[in-house]
């Protein structure tokens, strides 16, 4: 990959969506017919991608932006599972029979907050109710601080063979400041167990922009984690939003790196990972050449959804659990984010949908364009015109013209036939996608920064 240019990063770094959906979740509303959102699933016939949110964590990491329930009472997980089972039972009538599941992901929170016997119960829940394709991808987010080999075995028994876990930073000073102590031995032991249990892909999450981090210290973290030899890295920029996540205020007691230091860290990490055999897939994700994420990008089957990048295109996402998001070709819907509302709804025999959005024809066209750019890094005008039944160059002439400045900076190449994001432009794909976003003007300031 071409060396990132700090001046370009400064020029294009601005608030913008991450495009895990289009339109983004800011368009979701609770003033909507929830039954209509659910009914849409009845029309779908394609494969399914399941998501289960397990919100529990034993302690709060102070940087965390996820929907969590902080507790050490493991009994609560049992009750939660009762509700998950209810939710699945209430949703099944909305699915036509015979649909195959090609993907499943357990996110959180901490899925291994569940004890192994509860994980096995989840295994029965999914296999009793869904048909899995033989090469379906089943993945889980794990927390090495609470992980035992038996947890991994229980997930493996239900077919899970891809895992992801947060390291964030290996520096003990940073770990203390973020309230997440995770010694090296925990990381290496978790990876060893996963490999021994036959997991195909291991992803590590890192975060830059945390207290006390410097270019040098984060470089040392990278040297160590590259040595763990994972298949993928997701390296996120820390988003400091104490107005939404009050616990983040605690981090202000320590020294947060300046915007300039963050950009230098980004430059350094991109160079380091790409020179150590990781391909920059886009949007914080790096993967080995052999990894299915890289392969999917090459085969144009990569997709973006609420979990980030996914290798299974064109599947209906069915989310279960607190805050989970579901997606059909026409609608998005999201569950309640608080335990009380989620459980009350299910206790009343009603699916816990809080809000959602029905896409217009224009939204669907723009979503396809944005997702193609984000995932394939190129857009063929003839192909997209034919598939979407539009004359792309004339309908989007204004948007194409707005790429001119980025073209001058060699971030994109625009010809009469296509738009291609260059090697240099990969860091800026959000900026390119933003040119095709019809909602952006009104909302600019509520997004994280693009780089």
For position 2 contacting ligand SF4 by CB under 6 A, the verdict is no
Site string for ligand SF4, 48-87 (x = CB under 6 A): ---------x--xx--x-x-x-------------------
131-142 and 162-168 strand pairing: parallel
Distance of closest approach, residue 302 Cβ to ligand SF4, in angstroms: 25
Q: Choose between 165 and 218: whose C-beta lies nearer to ligand SF4.
A: 165
Q: Which is nearer to ligand SF4, 108 or 308 (CB)?
A: 108
* Shorter beta-carbon distance to ligand SF4: residue 91 or 236: 236
Name which of 447, 421, 443, 424 is nearest 432 in CA terms: 421
- Residue among 57 and 154 whose Cβ is closer to ligand SF4: 57
Closer CB to ligand SF4, 143 or 231, in the complex: 143
Q: Which residues, listed in sequence order, are joined to residue 332 by a DSSP beta bridge?
A: 327, 357
Residues 6+ apart with CB under 8 A from 432: 373, 403, 406, 411, 412, 419, 421, 425
Question: 349 near 83, Cβ under 8 Å?
Answer: no
Closer residue to ligand SF4, CB minimum distance, 222 or 322: 322
Q: How far is the CB of 58 from ligand SF4 (least distance, A)?
A: 8
Least distance in Å: CB of 431 to ligand SF4? 28
Least CB distance to ligand SF4 at residue 168 (A): 8
Nearest to ligand SF4 of 48, 64 (CB atom)? 64
Give how many residues touch ligand SF4 by CB under 6 A.
11
- Token pair, residue 110, equals 């901490």
Residue 334 in contact with residue 323, Cβ under 8 Å? yes
Which residues in 106-145 contact ligand SF4 (CB under 6 A)?
Answer: 108-110, 143
CA–CA separation, 102 and 99 (whole Å): 10
Nearer to ligand SF4, 203 or 311 (CB): 203
- Closest separation in Å from C-beta 175 to ligand SF4: 12
Residue 253 Cβ vs ligand SF4, minimum distance, rounded to whole Å: 18
Tell me whether residue 439 is exposed, middle or buried, using C-beta atoms within 10 angstroms of its C-beta: 0 to 12, 13 to 18, 19 or more: middle
Query: Which x/- pattern over 276-295 shows residues binding ligand SF4 (rule: CB under 6 A)?
Result: --------------------
By CB under 6 A, the residues from 146 to 175 that bind ligand SF4 are 166
Minimum CB separation of residue 285 from ligand SF4 in Å reads 18
User: Minimum Å distance from CB 108 to ligand SF4?
Assistant: 5
Instruction: CB nearer to ligand SF4: give 64 or 369.
Output: 64
Query: Contacts with ligand SF4 in 379-418 (CB under 6 A)?
Result: none
To ligand SF4, the closest distance from the beta carbon of 432 in angstroms equals 30
In the complex, the residues that contact ligand SF4 under the rule CB under 6 A are 57, 60-61, 64, 66, 68, 108-110, 143, 166
């Amino acid at each position: 990959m071409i060396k990132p240019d700090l001046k370009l990063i400064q020029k294009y770094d601005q608030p913008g969506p991450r495009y895990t959906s289009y339109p983004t979740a800011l368009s979701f509303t609770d003033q909507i017919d929830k039954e209509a959102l659910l009914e849409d699933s009845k029309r779908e016939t394609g494969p399914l991608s399941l998501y289960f949110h397990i919100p529990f964590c034993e302690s709060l990491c102070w940087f965390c932006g996820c929907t969590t329930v902080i507790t050490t009472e493991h009994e609560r997980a049992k009750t939660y599972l009762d509700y998950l089972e209810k939710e699945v039972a209430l949703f099944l009538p909305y699915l036509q029979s015979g649909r195959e599941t090609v993907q499943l992901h357990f996110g959180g929170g901490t899925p291994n907050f569940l004890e192994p016997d509860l994980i096995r119960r989840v295994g029965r829940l999914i296999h009793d109710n869904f048909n899995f394709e033989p090469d379906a991808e089943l993945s889980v987010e794990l927390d090495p601080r609470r992980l035992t080999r038996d947890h991994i075995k229980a997930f493996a028994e239900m077919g899970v063979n891809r895992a992801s876990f947060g390291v964030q930073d290996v520096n003990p000073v940073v770990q203390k400041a973020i309230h997440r102590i995770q010694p090296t031995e925990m990381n290496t032991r978790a990876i060893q167990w996963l490999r021994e249990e036959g997991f195909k892909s291991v992803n590590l999450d890192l975060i830059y922009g945390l207290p006390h981090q410097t270019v040098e210290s984060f470089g040392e973290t990278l040297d160590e984690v590259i040595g763990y030899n994972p298949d993928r890295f997701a390296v996120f920029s820390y988003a400091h939003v104490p107005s939404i996540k009050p616990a983040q205020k605690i981090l202000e007691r320590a020294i947060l790196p300046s915007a300039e230091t963050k950009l230098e860290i980004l430059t350094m990490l991109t160079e380091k990972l790409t020179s150590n055999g990781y391909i920059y897939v886009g949007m914080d994700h790096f993967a080995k050449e052999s990894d299915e994420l890289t392969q999917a990008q090459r085969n144009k089957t990569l997709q973006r959804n609420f979990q980030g990048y996914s290798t299974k295109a064109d599947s209906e996402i069915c989310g279960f659990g607190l805050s989970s998001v579901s997606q059909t070709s026409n609608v998005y819907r999201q569950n309640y984010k608080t335990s009380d509302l989620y459980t009350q709804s299910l206790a009343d025999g009603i699916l816990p949908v809080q809000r959602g959005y029905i896409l217009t024809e224009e939204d669907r066209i723009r979503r396809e364009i944005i997702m193609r750019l984000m995932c394939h890094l190129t857009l063929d005008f003839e192909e997209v015109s034919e598939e979407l039944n539009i004359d792309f160059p004339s309908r989007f002439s204004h948007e194409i013209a707005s790429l001119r400045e980025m073209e001058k900076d060699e971030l994109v190449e625009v010809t009469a036939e296509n738009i291609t994001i260059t090697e240099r432009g990969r860091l800026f794909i959000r900026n390119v996608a933003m040119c095709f976003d019809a909602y952006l003007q009104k909302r600019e300031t509520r997004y994280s920064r693009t780089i």
